[in-house]
Structure 1
Amino acid sequence: MQEFVVYIMYSERHNKRYTGFTSNLIDRFRSHNKLAHKGFTVKYRPWKVVHVEFFDSKKEAMAREKFLKSGVGRAWVREALSL
């Protein structure tokens, strides 16, 4: 069974957060920090993963990601992770 991960990355240099989901955190993190040539995360490198949550289904992971990107979710991230 495939596992899905919701992750939050933080760029200390730029004081930016990024929330996403994937089925392969290591490859996705490598893409954000080294491989990608365009997109939001490229201009705020380097990133470090500061929070991960595991889910059994893509649907659950997508719902959690959507919540964390909402106003209430962003407030939770700031408070829970002190970011």
Structure 2
Amino acid sequence: MSFLIYILTNPARTVLYTGVTNNLERRLYEHGEGLGEWGKFTGRYQCNLLIYFEISPDATQAIAREKQIKNWNRAKKEFLINTLNPNWEPIDLQTWSG
């Protein structure tokens, strides 16, 4: 089983949310519906656009990476996002080719 570290943003691209999951499609749905504790933040700030993700082979590494990214300043997070998605286009998992 692999784990994914992901970053969401809002339509204005002013807020960034970093999370980790073993099922990205399910988590995106939960964020979009405002489910769970995490939904409170993402719902309040309308963070429902996936703009970055990376895969990790195990949960321990994924959680450590999530914490690392969460502790970064905005500029460093933007640099990371730009390596995968320089235009910050919302990523559609159904059509994403990487």
Same fold, judged at TM 0.5 (above): yes
TM-score interval w.r.t. the shorter chain?
A: 0.7 to 0.9
| Aligned residue in 2 for 1:76 | 76
Show structure 1 runs of 5+ residues with no match.
none
Counterpart contact for 1:14–1:44, Cα < 8 Å: no
Q: Which has the higher strand share?
A: 1
Show structure 2 runs of 5+ residues with no match.
83-87, 89-98
Count of residue pairs the alignment pairs up: 81
Instruction: Out of 54-63 and 8-17, give the one that drifted further.
Output: 8-17
- 2:8 is aligned with 1:25: no
Percent identity over paired residues: 28
**TM norm structure 2:** 0.70
Instruction: Out of 58-67 and 46-55, give the one that drifted further.
Output: 46-55
Counterpart contact for 1:4–1:54, Cα < 8 Å: yes
| Aligned residue in 2 for 1:60 | 61
**TM norm structure 1:** 0.82
CA distance in 1, matches of 2:80, 2:3: 21
Counterpart contact for 1:20–1:65, Cα < 8 Å: yes
| Aligned residue in 1 for 2:52 | 51
* RMSD across aligned positions (CA): 2.2
Question: After superposition, what is the alpha-carbon deviation per residue over 1:7-45, rounded to whole angstroms, capped at 9, x for unaligned?
Answer: 000102472110000000000000001252752111122
Secondary structure (helix, strand or coil) at the match of 1:39 reads helix
